[in-house]
Amino acid sequence: MNQHATAAVLTAATLAGTSGLFVKYLALPAPVLAFFRVGIPTLIAGALMLLQGMPLLRPGLRPMLVASLLNAGRMFCFFAAFRLTTVGNAIIVLYTWPVFATLFGTIWLKEPISRRQMVLLALAFAGLVTVASGQELSFAADDLQGMVAAVGHALLFSLTVVIFKRESQRFRPIETIFYQNVLGVPIFLPFLLTYEGLSPWQAGVASGYGVMIGLGIFGLFFYGLQRLPAGRVSFLSYIEIISATTLGVLVLGESLSWHLLVGGSMIIAATLLLQRPGQQQVRATRGA
């Protein structure tokens, strides 16, 4: 076993679990946070591509640009989820994306789906219902809206995973970072320019977050994915759930309800069991 690759994935997953803290403490609107998350990696990745003599535009970009558009939508949903509900709720529901990736892989990549997988999909859905049942059933309730946003993220992220799985062999990691984020820049820039409450401190912290998540964590996961089986990378990445929920409890004083513990266990068990050798999605083309 490659210990360095394992340590890289564990470090990346642990750091990814800090996203909820950044969102809560910065207290910026979701589109403004999304701009920093996509803008900083786009700027740095684009500069590195030019320095290496790589063109920013080349034939066959349509699928990647579609994925970039979907990624912009999922970024908005990601930050909205953490703004509106607890870190524990958000991270559990965000991690339903492998369930949707399995469904979309069956539909668009013609990957076969077994009876066992269908049972696990049903288990994950039951877990989602269990988590949601602990929230106030009101369209005005922030928790419910946050969980809807988290489901939206899971749906959109699973679609981008399917696209990146098909296209990953044609693009280098630095290109993937650039194209994954590039369309989010013009989409979220107007929100940044019209937001009047941004302080220099918030801008600095948000920029640092963009570098850490958009480049550092992505790079660590890709390093691990190149040296470890995709299934092991996926399994190790679930430390993000532990990291996020622990930080939510210790730092933010959040509580863990039985709905979250039971439903979250059902979701995690289903998604882990869905990931078998030979049926992996590109789990490391992730995140936050």
**DSSP letters for 255-272:** ---HHHHHHHHHHHHHHH
The pTM score is: 0.78
Measured distance CA(102)–CA(109) in Å, rounded: 10
Domain assignment present for residue 280? The answer is no
User: So what's the pLDDT on residue 281?
Assistant: 43
Q: pLDDT tens, 142-179?
A: 777 888 898 899 888 878 877 776 776 788 878 888 99
Range of the domain at 78: 3-274
User: So what's the pLDDT on residue 235?
Assistant: 65
Give the amino acid at 24: K
Examine the pLDDT at 243 and tell me if it is beyond 80. yes
Examine the pLDDT at 286 and tell me if it is beyond 90. no
Domain assignment present for residue 99? The answer is yes
Domain assignment present for residue 8? The answer is yes
Confidence band of 283 (pLDDT split at 50, 70, 90): very low
The total number of residues written for the chain in this structure: 288
Taking residues 109-123, report their average pLDDT: 72
Which range scores top for mean pLDDT: 66-80, 172-186, 213-227, 243-257?
66-80
Percent of the chain scored above 70 by pLDDT? 81
User: So what's the pLDDT on residue 169?
Assistant: 73
Looking at the 3D structure of the chain, how many domains does it have? 1
Taking residues 27-36, report their average pLDDT: 94
**DSSP letters for the chain:** --HHHHHHHHHHHHHHTTHHHHHHHH---HHHHHHHHHHHHHHHHHHHHHHTT--S--SS-HHHHHHHHHHHHHHHHHHHHHHHS-HHHHHHHHTTHHHHHHHHHHHHS-----HHHHHHHHHHHHHHHHHHHTS---TT-HHHHHHHHHHHHHHHHHHHHHHHHHHGGGS-HHHHHHHHHTTHHHHHHHHHHH-----HHHHHHHHHHHHIIIIIIHHHHHHHHHHS-HHHHHHHHTHHHHHHHHHHHHTT-----HHHHHHHHHHHHHHHHH--TT----TTS---
